[in-house]
Amino acid sequence: MKYPVHIFSQGPKIIELNWPEIISEDILIEIIVLKNRIENKWHLYIASIYHSYQVLSIQLKEGAPTAEFIVWVESAIQQPLQSQHLPQRWIWTVPVCYDPELVPSQSKYLEEKNMDLETLVALHTSQSLLLYFYGFLPGFMYLGGLPEPLHIARKKIPDRKISQGSVAIGGSQTGIYPVDSPGGWYVVGKTPIAIFENGKINLPFNPGDKVQFAAISPQRYTEIQEGSIHDWEKKSYGG
């Protein structure tokens, strides 16, 4: 690995690998590569493995050979990054409707920013955003790369309910609310794709992939919402 990685155990079953506290694509790639190597070798003993920006967490099952595992990881973090362990990455198109009638609360954002709708849409769809990890809510994506002119301080008093499918901005982040939740972010659009439906989770994106928002009309919004399974548009991404 290019970065120094520290191993920290919280008891015999929770082992964490810590990269420097930086939000960067380089670190994310190192985490994904090491995660895949660990999964290949140790899957029988792993209860769960996931990560945030710079912490890779491994929870071992009862009876796992913890000491042996740590020795192996200590040596793995010394080795250079092996790109064959990096999976195929994709840029996924996520349709978003920015129509003021569908998303009336959008006006709060535009007023606060003194911005017009065209600028908001142009900026919000201007570049693809890197998926770092899922957290906060079931299926909530931590996306990086929101253009600076769109940043906005979070609401001091969170709204009691941001509805499922809302696309919102808070601080330097943007994301989709997969389920209804209270929240302090400003809603700017809505996606017609249901992330949780009939006991299934509709989230084909993996950390390391990118998400590209694409503006759609209210008519298209309804069509997608009423359609059965969404046909995801994606193209390959080389990093």
Partner 1 sequence: MIGKKNHTVGKLVFVKAGLFTTIQDKGRLNLVDKGIPLSGPMDEEAFHLANLLVRKDPGAACLEIYMGNINLYFTESCQIVCTGANAKIEVDSKVYATNEIINVSAYSRLNIFPFSQGQWLYMAINGTFTSEKVLGSQSFYPKITPLAKFSDSDILIYSSSPTPIPSDFAKIKTKNLPQMIFVPAYRGPSFSSLNKKQQFTLTNTSFTLSTIQNRMGIHLIEKLKHELPELISSPVYPGTVQLTHAGKIIILMKDAQVTGGYHRILQLSARGISRLAQLRPLSNFKFKLIE
Tokens 């759609």 belong to which residue?
A: 216
Nearer to partner 1, 72 or 196 (CB): 196
Nearer to partner 1, 52 or 93 (CB): 52
Nearest Cα residue to 106 out of 119, 93, 95, 94: 119
Nearer to partner 1, 52 or 125 (CB): 52
Nearer to partner 1, 46 or 123 (CB): 46
Nearer to partner 1, 18 or 93 (CB): 18
Q: How far is the CB of 215 from partner 1 (least distance, A)?
A: 26
Q: How far is the CB of 139 from partner 1 (least distance, A)?
A: 5
**Residue 94 and residue 191 in contact, taking contact as beta carbons nearer than 8 Å:** yes
Q: Which residues bind partner 1 (CB under 8 A)?
A: 8-11, 14, 16, 18, 21, 23, 47-55, 57, 59, 133-140, 142, 164, 179-180, 196, 199-201, 203, 207
Q: What type of residue is 112?
A: E
